[in-house]
Amino acid sequence: MKLAVIPGDGIGVEVTAEALKVLDALVPGVEKTEYDLGARRYLRNGETLTDEDIASLKEHDVILLGAIGDPRSVPAGVLERGMLLPLRFALDHHVNLRPSKLYPGSATPLKEPGEIDFVVVREGTEGLYTGNGGAIRVGTPHEMGTETSVNTRYGVERVVRDAFARATSRRGKLTLVHKTNVLVNAGGLWQRTVDEVAPEFPEVEVDYCHIDAATIYMVTDPSRFDVIVTDNLFGDIITDLAAAVTGGIGTAASGNIDASGTNPSMFEPVHGSAPDIAGQGKADPTAAILSVALLLRHVGKDAEADRVEAAVEADLASRGDTEIVTAEVGDRIVATVSA
């Protein structure tokens, strides 16, 4: 397995180190290439992501990313729009897969959470993220800024199909989350696509929620969800909420997947570089470690992925109220998977 590693910035570096410990314990001899993409390189030479970087990353089987972003030294958007999103777009990471599972003992803020086990299939290459917009009369009282949401039938249909397929191998329920009562153009396209693909998956029950109501149910009745399919921005927002109700943002993993298999898929925590806690050794590396489990499953190493997930489950169950020490969590998971 040829693995590209992008530790990135802030706690990205800290949690990636733990994730790699776990990977090394399970799969010795992975060929790794580290990339210094992120704030340090940008501040050194102004580069965010070059064509050479993309070509070189493409030579790997999979990519592991920590997180990028350093709001104290790099203006918002420079790395997000200059490095992370171009990477997801260049590698056609259309399925942004974000599972949420409440493990026993996890620190959920919900009093009666019920069983929470769903996946969000977030579209990853379109929507409001494409940079299709602009600003005029900047700094004047008549300033105007626009971002236009791009939704193509091709782009929507491929993630809708992926979500239906995932529902068939899970509990057979698909929920489209959108805002069809206001966003009639994009929403209409999404709803019609779901309606037209549905007959190919007769065993899947199809549901719909507006995004605002979906945030209610995520807190009051999260067990109603099995597979959620949604656009790029709604998916971004609802997966931070999903993380919060299932034990914290430090436990939520994701995969940026090119389902065609043409380009390497990229696995990363849902969270960012967390400048507020960076450098203190107290970031939870669980999300990064569970991202390794998703990565292992992606490359067909299901038994190893199961071991990582079981070790995380045991670790979460044994934590209680103890403070998180990043390296200790990694060490405990390594000890369990190596036992």
Residue stretches of the annotated binding site for substrate:
88, 98, 122, 212
Q: What are phi and psi of 3, to 5 degrees?
A: -115, 130
Segment interacting with Mn ion (CB under 5 A) among 61-69, 206-214, 233-241, 303-311: 233-241
Shortest Å distance, C-beta 294 to Mn ion: 16
Shortest Å distance, C-beta 143 to ligand IPM: 23
Strand order in the sheet with 265-269: 31-34, 2-8, 62-67, 265-269, 253-257, 95-101, 117-123, 227-230, 173-178, 205-210
Question: Active site residue: 231, 236, 258, 315, which one?
Answer: 236
Shortest Å distance, C-beta 70 to ligand NAD: 6
Contact status: 80 vs ligand IPM (CB under 6 A): yes
| Cβ atoms of residues 334 and 25 within 8 Å | yes
Closest residue to Mn ion, based on beta-carbon distance: 236
Binding at 283: pick from ligand NAD, ligand IPM, Mn ion, none (beta carbon under 5-8 Å per type): ligand NAD
Shortest Å distance, C-beta 265 to ligand NAD: 14
Nearer to ligand NAD, 11 or 176 (CB): 11
Applying CB under 6 A, which of residues 41, 94, 271, 297 lies at the interface with ligand NAD? 271
- Which residues pair with residue 127 across a beta bridge? 150
Nearer to Mn ion, 70 or 304 (CB): 70
Contact status: 236 vs Mn ion (CB under 5 A): yes
Q: Residues 246, 252, 258, 259: what is their CA dihedral angle, to the nearest 10 degrees?
A: -30
Is residue 212 among the annotated active site residues? yes
Applying CB under 6 A, which of residues 5, 128, 238, 270 lies at the interface with ligand IPM? 270
Cα 87 to Cα 12, 84, 97, 171, 181: the distances in Å are 17, 5, 16, 32, 33
Shortest Å distance, C-beta 245 to ligand IPM: 16
Applying CB under 6 A, which of residues 162, 236, 309, 315 lies at the interface with ligand IPM? 236
Is residue 240 among the annotated active site residues? yes
Binding-site annotation: residue ranges: 88, 98, 122, 212, 236, 240, 272-284
Site for Mn ion, rule CB under 5 A: 236
Point out the residues that are catalytic: 129, 179, 212, 236, 240
